[in-house]
Structure 1
Amino acid sequence: MPRHQMRRNARRMRRSGVEPVMLMSDDLDFAPVAITVIGHWLWRYRSELAPFTVALLAEGAAMALHITHPTWWPIILITTAVITWAVSLFGESIGLTRGIERAYAAATLFLIGGWIAAATVLGPGNPPLPAILGIGGLATAIPWWAHRRRRARVRVERTLAAWPEIAQAVGLAGSRIQSAVVDLWGYRARVALARGQTVEDAITKLPALESALGTRRGAARVQPIPEKANRLELRVIETDPHPDAITWPGPSVTSIAQPVELGVFEDGSPARVSLLRRHALVGGVAGAGKSGGVNVIMGNLSACPDVIVWGIDLKRGMELLPWSSCLGRIATTPKEAEALLRDAVAILDGRAEMLAMQGVRVWEPTPQAPALIVLVDEYAELVDEAPAAIVSADSIARRGRAVATTLIAATQRPSQKARGNSAVRSQMDVRISFRVRERRDADLILGQGMHKAGWHADKLDAPGKFLISAPEHDMPRRARTYLLNDETVQQAAARHAERRPTLDPVSVVALEEAPGPDDADTVVAASPKGRHVRKAAQESAEEALWIALRDAPEDGISLGDLIDATGMSRPTIYRRLSQHEADGRVQQVSRGRWRARDEPNAE
């Protein structure tokens, strides 16, 4: 019986109250025990002994070929050359990812094959073949023994070989390791849980697992495997893959319809998330990297010609003013913030009304009809200093998705009061959490119960590291955001400023008709007007509408000009245009611009 099984049986007997008894016998046969011990030792150190095993196999193969087929040496050389060529070219498919590894494998195979071919002709004992085998074997063994990944793999295998004892110690008795893979930063193992055990049970035992595995604190990760509820992936990070800040490589999108790349996960894959028709919350304590995350978002959105960004920064623009050339509007005081959000709601209403009249469900962003994103830096200040603005933010959160009017809120104080008691809390589809101080703060940012499910934002150990929860990110995976220094922000803002779109005609008209104080802060630049439409003071509003449509230029007349010409309200204009279009009298030239058909069907 192997020694470790004997020790395990002894421990079980002691737990049962039975003391193990040692029997001494003069006729005890130690040969089976010695064979068992030696076999166990050879198996345990099989990786270190691999060069000697290969040398013995080469010796045996050469001896057999020399006796039975001494004329096969050309075939052996040709086969060796083919295998060496295949390994040097296609070794990556069998795990030899680095060029130096493929070169080592090819050289070793060539030396072994060449020695076997020579020994087949001359005999393995004929000098100088034994000396060549010994010296060459030792020379090729040194890189094998020194190889870091091999040593790491052996260490992991020996650690996980003790998994039954580890599982018993941490309270996951009956679970087993199915497979393990060593990577550049550590290793990951697929674990099959015992009946009745859940992934949540393993997550609660992470500190005990780290202690049993001998890792540093915070090194272990537990992630569920979607295919089966009783499977999980245990990942151990031995070397931090992102110990330093990662320089921003530049914008990853050219349209708001594409997912924005925020940073890099620990496995090297990009952390991407879609912001179209999704409200987002970015949270974290001061110094955790929240502002860096906002800069990454702005750097990508400013490169999209189909989205307009309005900014609110009640710290007098300290964070967003460097992006002012790329912002359609920016509010730095509570009064300006209230006006900006009120205007955003007016645009939302105008777009919704237009879509309803046309029977269309969603607003598809284009450079001519861009999406609108309101980015609020330090949302908690908005709640405290401009409570009236929260009503508008609530309206955007509830109704803004379909019309591509969305909200991104960033805060250092992720309390319920700081986020307001409104729909804003529940409508945030995208949650990005940088480091927080307390567990409850992780739940306030990411959602109730998320910390218990493994979203440990309080354990993030460096600025810029974050967790992201979104429909496409339902497992806790740590990532690190890109870093934009002041010079990079200035360069990106200057480069993207010339490509920023303007508001579409529907939104412009909505702003012109929006009720509210006539304040300079609420004025936005409107798109160019069409040619002046004469008013028919003596004619009815219906006749004035038809004259305006008939005299419209080739690119049509805007809704604002039609309202000026007829005195009709916007809903009435929409109804009359819809009726005329159904009768074949008018056509919509582009979004928000109309004209009469050249050959109307009726007067």
Structure 2
Amino acid sequence: MLLKRQNAVQRYELGAEVSRPKQMASIPRTAHLAIIGESNSGKGSVIANIIRQEVEAGGEVWFIDLKSGMEAENYVSVLDNKAYSLQEAKELLSAFNTDVDARAERWRGQVRTVDDRHERHRLLIIDEAADLIRSGSDKKTSDACVESIRSALSRSRALNCTVVVATQNPRVSTSLPYRSLLLTTLALRLNSKSEAVMALGEDAVQRGARPWQISYNRPGDGYLWDSESNTVKYIHAPFMTDQDIHSLRRPSTDDEAGEATARARSHPTDNLWGLLRRPHKG
């Protein structure tokens, strides 16, 4: 039986194209995304804007933050599940995949792609994903987390789930061992061309991605690379203050969620334009 909830938001708006400030760059809401950039390059603002859009659409937000929850706790009022330790991450990822299995069982043979009419959309944020890679006594738990992420990335997109991973480490072969399953990447400021090639691949650099040339005083600037369409866009993600983040609230009913969605569809860029005019911060 279909849910009453209608398909809410089809795409996440990440920011304005720098060369065409009135043109917003977006990705499908079910596109798994890697965000790679140095400290203070704007990763937090990118994540904040994605979470804001997910909350306004009435979806779920799950968050893994192994820095003792220093980032995730800012969103505690809108989180459905959270993990602040390696063991908690293992348990959260196991629960995520168990629900993916359940969704597949419910809808197998009935629909080709699950959307908001069938299941509530679920967004999983993994902040500083390189922190999940451990050795020594933690290696077994770390390996289980990596395999769970691989499973989630390979199976959940068609089941109305999205995984967003962020890392400072451009050496994706070690920081993101499941890199091949992340077909969309936003590269913020990096230190060198070689780091850009590691983070994005040679094709993206040949097509114009230059994250090592982004100025330190331009946090939020980045190159959005879609390896499926082989396209690069240079964008600026709007800054969100702590006050903006702490003021996030869930729509209290499905009706309010519908109203929020209608507002977002009618005026999809209003809030972003206001944020784009704010001072640049990391």
- With the shorter chain as reference, the TM-score category is 0.7 to 0.9
For residues 258 and 471 of structure 1, what CA distance do their matches in structure 2 show? 20
Structure 1 position 453, deviation (Å): 2.8
Match of 1:457 in 2: 211
In structure 2, the residue corresponding to 1:402 is in which secondary structure?
Answer: helix
> Do residues 353 (structure 1) and 109 (structure 2) align?
no
Q: After superposition, what is the alpha-carbon deviation per residue over 1:454-483, rounded to whole angstroms, capped at 9, x for unaligned?
A: 211111112111111127974433221101
Contact 2:15 2:26 in 1 (8 A): no
Structure 1 position 397, deviation (Å): 1.1
Question: Given the alignment, which residue of 363, 367, 389 partners 2:114?
Answer: 363
In structure 2, the residue corresponding to 1:300 is in which secondary structure?
Answer: helix
**Cα–Cα, structure 1 residues 255 and 443, in superposed 2: closer, same or farther, change >3 Å?**
farther
Contact 2:191 2:212 in 1 (8 A): yes
For residues 458 and 318 of structure 1, what CA distance do their matches in structure 2 show? 28
In structure 2, the residue corresponding to 1:394 is in which secondary structure?
Answer: helix
> Do residues 406 (structure 1) and 162 (structure 2) align?
yes
Structure 1 position 353, deviation (Å): 1.7
Match of 2:73 in 1: 321
Alignment of 1:534-573 (within 5 A): none
Amino acid at match of 2:174: K
Structure 1 position 256, deviation (Å): 5.3
For residues 262 and 499 of structure 1, what CA distance do their matches in structure 2 show? 26
For residues 25 and 10 of structure 2, what CA distance do their matches in structure 1 show? 9
Match of 2:89 in 1: 337
Structure 1 position 292, deviation (Å): 1.4
**Cα–Cα, structure 1 residues 454 and 274, in superposed 2: closer, same or farther, change >3 Å?**
closer
Match of 1:598 in 2: none
Contact 1:432 1:445 in 2 (8 A): no
Amino acid at match of 2:68: R
**Cα–Cα, structure 1 residues 332 and 275, in superposed 2: closer, same or farther, change >3 Å?**
farther
**Cα–Cα, structure 1 residues 285 and 465, in superposed 2: closer, same or farther, change >3 Å?**
same
> Do residues 381 (structure 1) and 134 (structure 2) align?
no
Match of 1:273 in 2: 26
Match of 2:279 in 1: none
For residues 161 and 12 of structure 2, what CA distance do their matches in structure 1 show? 17
Q: After superposition, what is the alpha-carbon deviation per residue over 1:145-190, rounded to whole angstroms, capped at 9, x for unaligned?
A: xxxxxxxxxxxxxxxxxxxxxxxxxxxxxxxxxxxxxxxxxxxxxx
> Do residues 442 (structure 1) and 196 (structure 2) align?
yes
> Do residues 297 (structure 1) and 50 (structure 2) align?
yes
Amino acid at match of 1:442: A
Match of 1:419 in 2: 176
Q: Which has the larger radius of gyration?
A: 1
For residues 459 and 362 of structure 1, what CA distance do their matches in structure 2 show? 40
Higher helix proportion (structure 1 or 2): 1
For residues 467 and 256 of structure 1, what CA distance do their matches in structure 2 show? 27
In structure 1, the residue corresponding to 2:56 is in which secondary structure?
Answer: coil
Match of 1:467 in 2: 223
In structure 2, the residue corresponding to 1:274 is in which secondary structure?
Answer: strand
In structure 1, the residue corresponding to 2:44 is in which secondary structure?
Answer: helix
Task: In structure 1, list runs of 5 or more residues that go unmatched.
Answer: 1-253, 502-603
For residues 29 and 154 of structure 2, what CA distance do their matches in structure 1 show? 15
For residues 276 and 347 of structure 1, what CA distance do their matches in structure 2 show? 19
Amino acid at match of 2:240: L
For residues 23 and 149 of structure 2, what CA distance do their matches in structure 1 show? 31
Amino acid at match of 1:274: I
Contact 2:204 2:230 in 1 (8 A): no
Contact 1:311 1:329 in 2 (8 A): yes
For residues 362 and 332 of structure 1, what CA distance do their matches in structure 2 show? 32
Match of 2:262 in 1: none
Contact 1:261 1:270 in 2 (8 A): no
For residues 254 and 149 of structure 2, what CA distance do their matches in structure 1 show? 24
Contact 1:256 1:301 in 2 (8 A): no
Match of 1:536 in 2: none
**Cα–Cα, structure 1 residues 486 and 408, in superposed 2: closer, same or farther, change >3 Å?**
same
In structure 2, the residue corresponding to 1:482 is in which secondary structure?
Answer: coil
**Cα–Cα, structure 1 residues 291 and 371, in superposed 2: closer, same or farther, change >3 Å?**
same
Aligned residue pairs: how many? 240
Alignment of 1:240-251 (within 5 A): none
Alignment of 1:167-246 (within 5 A): none
Task: In structure 2, list runs of 5 or more residues that go unmatched.
Answer: 1-5, 256-282
Structure 1 position 484, deviation (Å): 0.6
Using the size of structure 1 for normalisation, the TM-score is 0.38
For residues 120 and 54 of structure 2, what CA distance do their matches in structure 1 show? 12
For residues 222 and 112 of structure 2, what CA distance do their matches in structure 1 show? 35
Match of 2:266 in 1: none
Question: Given the alignment, which residue of 135, 152, 173 partners 1:396?
Answer: 152
In structure 2, the residue corresponding to 1:498 is in which secondary structure?
Answer: coil
Amino acid at match of 2:126: V
Amino acid at match of 1:417: T
Contact 1:263 1:272 in 2 (8 A): yes
Match of 1:584 in 2: none
**Cα–Cα, structure 1 residues 255 and 361, in superposed 2: closer, same or farther, change >3 Å?**
closer
**Cα–Cα, structure 1 residues 425 and 471, in superposed 2: closer, same or farther, change >3 Å?**
closer
Using the size of structure 2 for normalisation, the TM-score is 0.78
In structure 1, the residue corresponding to 2:166 is in which secondary structure?
Answer: strand
For residues 189 and 14 of structure 2, what CA distance do their matches in structure 1 show? 16
Question: Given the alignment, which residue of 241, 245, 265 partners 1:489?
Answer: 245
> Do residues 312 (structure 1) and 64 (structure 2) align?
yes
